[in-house]
């Protein structure tokens, strides 16, 4: 056992409120989320609020895109849950606590109730971006100060985490994505303007030695299409989006002709619609969203008419709901979530009625249960 694991184990074993079991009653979640014919049909989601040390449950209306905020987990002083990950079956939610360098596990009840594990799992320094492999057997987490990715195996019955190992990925690892095929992992390294690629072993959870590919300066958010053919990277310092094809055998990245494309100022996060037709970039410094069409066959991107579209102050993340109807953007400075519908033909964004939806503090991440 490494010194870090031993030290963190001692930290996680301390008697503190954060490790207590609790359940959150979500009475307002009793509405049906399986009947798509009902105007009340909705998806369950969770937003991390790092400065408050908690997670808030939400409902996203499938017809209107409207967000309804629900019950918060108890606030825990000294904690900062930020990154979130959800297992494919929707049974377990994981939150990376960047203050205590641990990962907290929650069981998700049928009604959306969260039950927190009694103990947290030691992680690296500042566990940030998190992703679960398609099989649901492994959780991968970036540790920016450790310059590594930690891999944990997931007990599919209890959700408990067991460390597999720490794998070096270079300085300032930021975003983390795993191809839908489950064989390649990509990490953005903002300091060097590169993307690190590692081969993932779905049987052991191990990562191969890294290969590095040049991107733009300050590369941050990544997005991989559902077919594992294309990868896009937001270059925050260059105000551009780089586009790459993925070699299906090696995972190597090859930049696409006419890449990079210009975005707004300070693009930080990317989202691709489920049909791989549109790409959306949250621009943190210009407070808007750049929208692009994705050319079938080549992956080249072109700005959509009317782009960019206004957002709140400091948009930090974006994602599309599981049905592919709405785009949600987390505004760190405005302490809100902006919601948009998008035209399935043109990709043009239209603000949802009532948007933006205010959160009580700056949102760290949003995740939606399929």
Q: For residue 191, is pLDDT > 70?
A: yes
Work out how many domains the chain is built from and give that number. Answer: 1
> Is 336 exposed, middle or buried (CB count within 10 Å of its CB: 0-12, 13-18, 19+)?
buried
Question: What integer pLDDT is reported at residue 7 of this predicted model?
Answer: 35
Task: With respect to residue 77, please indicate whether it lies within any of the assigned structural domains.
Answer: yes
pLDDT digits (tens, 9 = 90+) for 333-360: 999 999 999 999 999 999 999 999 999 9
pLDDT digits (tens, 9 = 90+) for 286-324: 999 999 999 999 999 999 999 999 999 999 999 999 999
Residue 9: which H helix or E strand, with range?
Answer: helix 3-12
Question: What integer pLDDT is reported at residue 38 of this predicted model?
Answer: 53
Question: What integer pLDDT is reported at residue 133 of this predicted model?
Answer: 96
Task: With respect to residue 298, please indicate whether it lies within any of the assigned structural domains.
Answer: no
**Structural domain boundaries enclosing 124:** 1-168
Task: With respect to residue 330, please indicate whether it lies within any of the assigned structural domains.
Answer: no
Task: With respect to residue 188, please indicate whether it lies within any of the assigned structural domains.
Answer: no
pLDDT digits (tens, 9 = 90+) for 3-14: 333 333 333 333
Q: What is the CATH number of the domain that holds 146?
A: 2.130.10.10
Question: What integer pLDDT is reported at residue 39 of this predicted model?
Answer: 61
Question: Residue 178's beta-bridge partner residues?
Answer: 185
Task: With respect to residue 84, please indicate whether it lies within any of the assigned structural domains.
Answer: yes
pLDDT digits (tens, 9 = 90+) for 192-209: 999 999 999 999 999 999
Q: For residue 2, is pLDDT > 70?
A: no
Task: With respect to residue 31, please indicate whether it lies within any of the assigned structural domains.
Answer: yes
Contact 48, 83 (CB under 8 A): yes
Whose tokens are 């077919």? That residue is 227
Task: With respect to residue 43, please indicate whether it lies within any of the assigned structural domains.
Answer: yes
Both tokens assigned to 10: 């001692």
Reduced DSSP (H G I as helix, E B as strand, rest coil) percent helix, strand, coil of the chain, to 5: 5, 45, 50
Q: Are strands 230-235 and 219-224 parallel, antiparallel or unpaired?
A: antiparallel
Q: How far apart are CA 146 and CA 167, in angstroms?
A: 10
Task: With respect to residue 26, please indicate whether it lies within any of the assigned structural domains.
Answer: yes
pLDDT digits (tens, 9 = 90+) for 78-137: 899 999 999 988 999 999 999 999 999 998 988 887 888 878 999 999 999 999 999 999
């Amino acid at each position: 056992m490494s010194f870090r694991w031993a030290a963190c184990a001692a930290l996680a074993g301390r008697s503190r409120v954060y490790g207590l079991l609790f359940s959150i009653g979500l009475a307002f979640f009793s509405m049906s989320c399986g009947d798509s014919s009902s105007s009340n049909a909705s998806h369950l989601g969770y937003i991390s609020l790092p400065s408050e040390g908690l997670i808030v449950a939400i409902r996203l209306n499938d017809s209107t895109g409207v967000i309804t905020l629900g019950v918060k987990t108890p606030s825990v002083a000294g904690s900062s849950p930020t990154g979130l990950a959800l297992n494919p079956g929707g049974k377990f939610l994981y939150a990376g606590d960047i203050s205590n360098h641990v990962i907290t596990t929650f069981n998700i009840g049928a009604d959306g109730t969260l039950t927190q594990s009694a103990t947290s799992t030691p992680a690296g320094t500042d566990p940030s971006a998190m992703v679960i492999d398609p099989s649901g057997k492994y959780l991968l987490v970036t540790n920016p100060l450790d310059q590594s990715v930690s891999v944990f195996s997931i007990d599919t019955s209890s959700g408990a985490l067991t460390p597999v190992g720490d794998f070096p990925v270079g300085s300032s690892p930021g975003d983390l994505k795993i191809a839908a095929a489950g064989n390649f992992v990509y990490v953005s390294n903002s300091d060097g303007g590169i993307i690190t690629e590692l081969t993932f072993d779905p049987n052991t959870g191990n990562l191969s030695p890294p290969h590095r590919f040049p991107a733009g300066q300050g590369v941050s958010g990544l997005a991989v299409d559902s077919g594992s053919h294309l990868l896009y990277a937001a270059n925050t310092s260059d105000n551009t989006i780089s586009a790459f094809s993925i070699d299906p055998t090696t995972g190597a990245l090859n930049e696409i002709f006419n890449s990079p494309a210009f975005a707004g100022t300070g693009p930080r996060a990317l989202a691709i619609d489920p049909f791989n037709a549109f790409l959306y970039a949250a621009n943190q410094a210009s407070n808007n969203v750049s929208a692009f069409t994705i050319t079938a066959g080549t992956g080249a991107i072109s700005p959509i008419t009317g782009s960019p579209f206004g957002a709140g102050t400091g948009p930090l993340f974006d994602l599309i709901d599981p049905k592919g109807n709405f785009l949600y953007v987390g505004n760190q400075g405005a302490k809100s979530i902006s919601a948009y519908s998008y035209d399935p033909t043109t990709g043009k964004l239209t603000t949802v009625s009532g948007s933006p939806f205010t959160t009580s503090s700056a949102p760290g991440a949003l995740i939606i249960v399929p």
